[in-house]
Chain A
C-alpha cells in the first residue's frame, strides 16, 4: 500500500463531511467504471456485428461456462466452422438482455444464437432460466420489428466438448442463410 493511501486511511472519521465526500468520490468512480463497461459492451456488439457485403453474420452470445469452453475446445481439436460467426462471451447467460440482441441486428447481424448451459447445470443457479425468459421476450420483439423470431435461437449445452457447439452453430447459420432478408427501408 502506498504511503499516501495510508494517511487517507488514518484520517477516516476525522470529519463527517470529509468522509461523505470521499464516499461520494468512490461512488462516482464506481459509476464511471460501470458506465464505461456498459459502453464497451455496446461497442463490442456493434463491432462484432459489422460484416462484409453479402456475408451472413451470426453473433453468438456464449455463457462463459460450458458453451464458451466448448468453443475453445473446438479450436483446440481443430474443428472448422464458418468465419461469419462471431462469439461474444457473457459472464453468465442470465446477463443477456433483449437490448443486446436487438442492437446486434441493428449493427448488421443476420442471426443471433444464444448459447447457455442447461438450466439444471447453471453455475449461477437461475441464470439460464432467466435467459430462457429473455430469449422468449426477444423473439416476440423480433417478430414485431419485422426481423422474425426464427433469427433468434437459444441452445443449451451440458458438456465442454467442441462438436455439439460447432454443430449447432453451423446448422443455425445454414438455416438463417436460407431465410428471406428482412426489410430495411431508407
Chain B
C-alpha cells in the first residue's frame, strides 16, 4: 500500500528535517522510540508497510502540538489518522485500553444497537423532546460504569450542564438514543464506524428539529464542527460549546455567578485550567473559558507555564495504547499544575478529567490537587449566584 496521497495531502514533502515536531512531542519526551520526524522520513522514503507495522504509530496522542509548531506546515496529525486508516485495512490495530470495553460499546452503537442512556436525568431538570436547542451528552453515562474503579462519576457534568441551561432559561432536548460522536473511531482509523455513528446522530438531531447543538465535550465539539461538516457537508444546525452560550448569557446579565461553595471558606480559590487539545489547538478557542472563570467571584485563575495552544495533552487518547509513558506525561502535567499553587485543577474535557484522576489514583498519591470539570464549577457558582444556593446537586 502506498502513501503517496497522504504525502500530498499532509504536505510531508515540505519537511526540512528540523526536528521541531519531535522536540515538541509530549510522547517523544518520555518514549524515545516514538518520533514524528522519523515517521515523516519513513513516509517520504516510501516504506508504507514499515509505518503500518510500527507499534509506535498508535502511540501518537493526536494532540496537534507538532502540526501547530511545524515551520513547513506539515500536518502530522492528519497523517497519523490517514496512516491508521490504512494500517487497520492492512490488519494492524492498536492495543485497546480498559480491555477493549469502550471499543465494544462504540462498535455495538455503530452496528445499530439503540441505547437507552439518559438514566442520569433526575426530576429537577427541565428537558424537552423537541425544540431549538439540543444538548449532546456523548459518552458520559458509559464512563460512569467503566470508571467506577477510580471512583469517578462523569454524569455529574451532564446534570450540571442541563441545570446551567435551565438557570439561563434554556430547555434543551436530551435524547436517550444518542450515540457516541465517533471521535475515537475517527482518530484510531476506523472510518466506517465513524461514518455510521455520525449518520445515526445526524438523523436523531434532525428528528428533534433542533437548530443549535450544545456540547460540553471538546472532542464532540470538534467532531461536529469539523469532521461531520467535512464528511456530510452543511449540517442544518449550529454547533456551539456550552461555555460560549453561558458567556453570552452572563454578559447579558441573564445568568448570575456567585461564589462557588468551595470558595466560601477562603478569600480566593486559586484555580488553574487544563486546556483540551480539541478546544485549544484544533478549534482555536482558549479565551472563552478563561473569561468565564474570571467572571466567577472568589475565583482566581493562575496559568500553568505551558498554557493555551502550548498546553500539554492529558496524556492518553482514543482509548488505545496507554502505557507507563502516558502515565509519566500525566504526572508531569499534574506536578506543573500543583506548582502554580492552585488548589483546584479545572479541566475543559471529561476525558482529561478521567485521565488525570486516574494518574492521581495511585496508592501513594504523590501529588495532591482537586480536579473538577469547568461545567461543574460553573454550576456551583451559578446556583449560589441565583440565590437558590444550599441545595447543591451532584
Prevailing SS type, chain B contact patch: helix
B101 touching A98, Cβ below 8 Å: yes
A137 touching B104, Cβ below 8 Å: no
Q: How many residues of B contact A (CB 8 A)?
A: 24
Which of A103, A146, A184, A186 contacts B104 (CB under 8 A)?
Answer: A103
A146 touching B114, Cβ below 8 Å: yes
Q: A183 — nearest CB in chain B belongs to which residue?
A: B114
Q: How many residues of A contact B (CB 8 A)?
A: 20
Q: 4 new A-B pairs (CB below 8 Å) besides A99-B100, A105-B108, A145-B115?
A: A98-B104, A106-B107, A145-B108, A146-B113
Which of B100, B101, B112, B141 contacts A185 (CB under 8 A)?
Answer: B112
Q: How far is the CA of A80 from the CA of B9 in the complex (A)?
A: 62
In this assembly, does A159 line the interface, its C-beta being within 8 Å of a C-beta of chain B?
Answer: no
Interface stretch (choices B11-19, B142-150, B164-172, B266-274): B142-150
Give the chain A neighbours of B119 by CB distance below 8 A: 143-144
Prevailing SS type, chain A contact patch: helix
A residues near B (Cβ < 8 Å) are 97-99, 102-103, 105-106, 137, 140-141, 143-147, 182-186
Q: B119 — nearest CB in chain A belongs to which residue?
A: A144
Taking CB atoms and an 8 Å cut-off, the chain B residues in 110-148 that contact chain A are 111-117, 119, 141-142, 145-146, 148
Q: How far is the CA of A102 from the CA of B148 in the complex (A)?
A: 18
Distance between A135 CB and nearest chain B CB, rounded to angstroms: 12
A144 touching B101, Cβ below 8 Å: no
Q: With A145-B113, A146-B113, A146-B114 as given contacts, are A137 and B100 in contact (CB-CB < 8 Å)? A: no
A186 touching B109, Cβ below 8 Å: no
Give the chain B neighbours of A102 by CB distance below 8 A: 101, 104-105, 107-108
Enumerate the 5 nearest inter-chain pairs by beta-carbon distance, A residue then B residue, closest first.
A99-B100, A102-B104, A97-B99, A185-B112, A183-B114
- From A106, A137, A145, name the one whose CB has the most chain B CB atoms within 10 angstroms: A145
Give the chain B neighbours of A146 by CB distance below 8 A: 113-116
Q: A137 — nearest CB in chain B belongs to which residue?
A: B145
A144 touching B142, Cβ below 8 Å: yes
Which of B103, B113, B142 contacts A183 (CB under 8 A)?
Answer: B113
Distance between A143 CB and nearest chain B CB, rounded to angstroms: 7
B114 touching A99, Cβ below 8 Å: no
Give the chain A neighbours of B148 by CB distance below 8 A: 137
A144 touching B141, Cβ below 8 Å: yes
Q: How far is the CA of A185 from the CA of B119 in the complex (A)?
A: 21
Q: How far is the CA of A143 from the CA of B119 in the complex (A)?
A: 10
Distance between A156 CB and nearest chain B CB, rounded to angstroms: 22
Distance between B43 CB and nearest chain A CB, rounded to angstroms: 23
In this assembly, does B200 line the interface, its C-beta being within 8 Å of a C-beta of chain A?
Answer: yes
B114 touching A185, Cβ below 8 Å: yes
Q: Can you pick out 13 interface pairs between chain A and chain B where the beta carbons lie within 8 Å of each other?
A: A99-B104, A102-B104, A102-B108, A105-B108, A105-B113, A137-B146, A141-B105, A145-B108, A146-B113, A146-B116, A182-B113, A183-B114, A186-B112
